[in-house]
Homo-oligomer: A and B are copies of this chain.
């Protein structure tokens, strides 16, 4: 950690700051330049309160040099984390395809979609029971019934299920859910993250629309520091000035996250662009960039979907897309199973 001292600060004040830092068991190094004086701080700085340092009147700025996350950091855990659910693996060369409708709409609908996506090679069934919608007047999901219908699919076809949680009070409903998803808008709902840290199930954590890669890793750290180290990171597009696509799919986040962290990283090409025809090229790009899995929206009847129909593939189209994706998985030596 680097402390930049304000210009024309007296020697006494600098010495006093150094003493107070050394009392906290940090080693310090002073560099006095012509125009700038800096103090290097050595030790475990992940617990330093950067805010109170910045507030000292002789301090111009404080900059971190090492990452503020530890459990999610590859420096302290070099091997890839492999998340395993009902025999399906994610990470370390194992590729996952999570497919299904944006919203669970009825039992026959989800059973039909489940069967068809499994036939095309999907390894997980996704479907929204609780839906975060911008408008209070829009369809908000089947809630408990949605989860029941997903569990019905799991029972019938043996496919593990992934679905989104929106609040702590719903945790009991998720007891048999295989992977619990945290949506982009809840990425920094720290209360929820803390509670999920106490659970056993893997957590699929989506990057917020305007959250940095570091913030995503800090949110993973929240869950992991609670004891649940099975976190799957998901890039799903960030908010930029571009309007032709709903979000800007930050494909470079994939190799960056893989380098910084040992956690599996998947991509959601359906939400990233919001356009059905763009799912295939973005899915291929994600695999090429090193993703460990994909989350793809598939709906039996997109024009009558209760949410996000524009970005959903039909089962037929999904089957074609999967064929082309498998060639990419092979090139990257990923196994889908």
Contacts and interface: CB of A to CB of B under 8 A. Distances in A.
A186 B132 CA distance: 12
Interface in A247-305: 248-256, 259-260, 272-273, 276-278, 281-282, 284-290, 302-305
Contact of A136 (B221, B307, B327, B331): B221
Interface residues of A, number: 110
A137 B188 CA distance: 15
A288 B328 CA distance: 9
Contacts of A306: 49, 51-52
A38 B36 contact: no
Q: How many copies does the complex hold?
A: 4
A121 interface: no
Contact of A34 (B43, B167, B218): B43
A39 to B, nearest CB: 9
B36 A65 contact: yes
A144 interface: no
Given A252-B278, A303-B57, A190 B52 contact: no
A277 B256 CA distance: 10
Interface string A132-172: 11111111000000000000000000000000001111000
B244 A282 contact: no
Interface string A165-196: 01111000000000000000110111110100
